[in-house]
Amino acid sequence: MTFNYMVLRLGAKPDYKTHIVATFYIESKISLSRAAGEIAAESSIGTWTELKTLRPEVARRLAAVIFYLNQKTGIVRIAYPLEIFEPGNIPQLLSSVGGNVFGMKDLKNLRLLDLDFPGKYVRSFLGPAFGIPGVRKFLGIKKRPIIGCIMKPKLGLTSDEHARLAYFMWKNGIDTIKDDENLTDLSFNHFKDRVRKVIALKRKAERETGKRKMHVFNITASPDQMLKRAKLIKQFGGECAMIDIVTCGFGSVEFIRRQNLGLILHGHRAGHATFTRNPRHGITMLVVAKLARLAGIDELHTGTWVGKMEGSSRGLKEINNFLKNKWYGMKTVLPVASGGLHPRLVPKLINLVGEDVIINAGGGIHGHPSGSEAGARAMVQAVEAVEKGVSLDAYAKIRPELREALKYWK
């Protein structure tokens, strides 16, 4: 490549205050250094050939720099001047570092492993409005894991059935309930009807239990429709809206966050595995988590490791730790564990991810042999056992719901 002199500076030390640093894994048909050069050029200011329009002074100032390259591992690190990125614009960022480069024919596989952002770029985003402390304050839960329930079947319940089921879940100890990822505004369960009826019964459950409860309504749609639905939640006195962040796009998430509606934003990651699952190609869930935090998500699905979804314990810890740690003053994000969870898995999950988590169960509650109410009590009892340092089997001796769940899910 004739313009490699612009970008290949192995051993250089980038200024992390003025550059975004991308870490890639590369498999290529050409040499690793040449492949890295093509990626750096394509994702910054270059292209496949020399350009008469590119002035040397511009190239020196704005070109991406390859400062690390490992022939054995295929790991490459590239520093991009912050000047080539628009502040507060995730789509533009991804069009650069996660765009055309994935279609280059000289590459066999390419994976964006991580992105490191300078404080100036991070602070150009609003980030979460509530974060972990805000969600906990709303629910009045200071320390323990938050117990969540997903409505099942994910499609098929009427708005009346949905509201009644939610009420009984709250009455039996569940803290927060959510729509599933594909339940929006459907002929048998219209969004407005669901919001109105659920919130009415939520208030009843709160009066009867003396505890705050929450419902996560799925507003996923085009940005204009999402805004209408979010305002409707607010109008009826709801507190939380869910967005399928991958299918809607980060620009849509940013748009809703900028409205400052005072709603907790719950991020579902439906569709992420289309590009996160292959360990040799695509974009990691860690990158998705960083972008979700920038965009303003308060609660984010990150996986379970112990459930039905693919993912490693190491990767899950890394993602959850990032969401919970300090980041240039931006608020934290509450991880959501969801996918194939049932009471028997609760100790392993909490041991892995800690107490700052929403434990979201769907089939693990509604699939209980004695029904959903017994399933809710069993899940609550499993969390109680862990919090008290008691084994599930011991705790289940005088708790029939948990005992039945442990027998059913071996």
Residues designated as active site: 152, 268
Closest of 300, 331, 313 to residue 216, by C-alpha:
300
Query: Burial level of 368, CB count in 10 A (0-12/13-18/19+)?
Result: buried
Dihedral sign, CA of 252, 316, 318, 326? positive
| 32/382 Cα distance (integer angstroms) | 50
CB of 176 within 8 A of CB of 205?
Answer: no
Q: Helix, strand, or coil here: 48?
A: coil
CB of 324 within 8 A of CB of 356?
Answer: yes
Side-by-side strand order, sheet with 19-28: 65-69, 75-81, 19-28, 107-116, 282-283
* 29-36 own/partner pairs: CB under 8 Å, 24+ apart: 29/106, 29/107, 29/108, 30/106, 32/69, 32/71, 32/74, 32/76, 33/4, 33/8, 33/66, 33/69, 34/1, 34/4, 34/106, 35/106, 35/107, 36/7, 36/8, 36/66, 36/69, 36/76, 36/78
Closest of 225, 215, 159 to residue 192, by C-alpha:
159
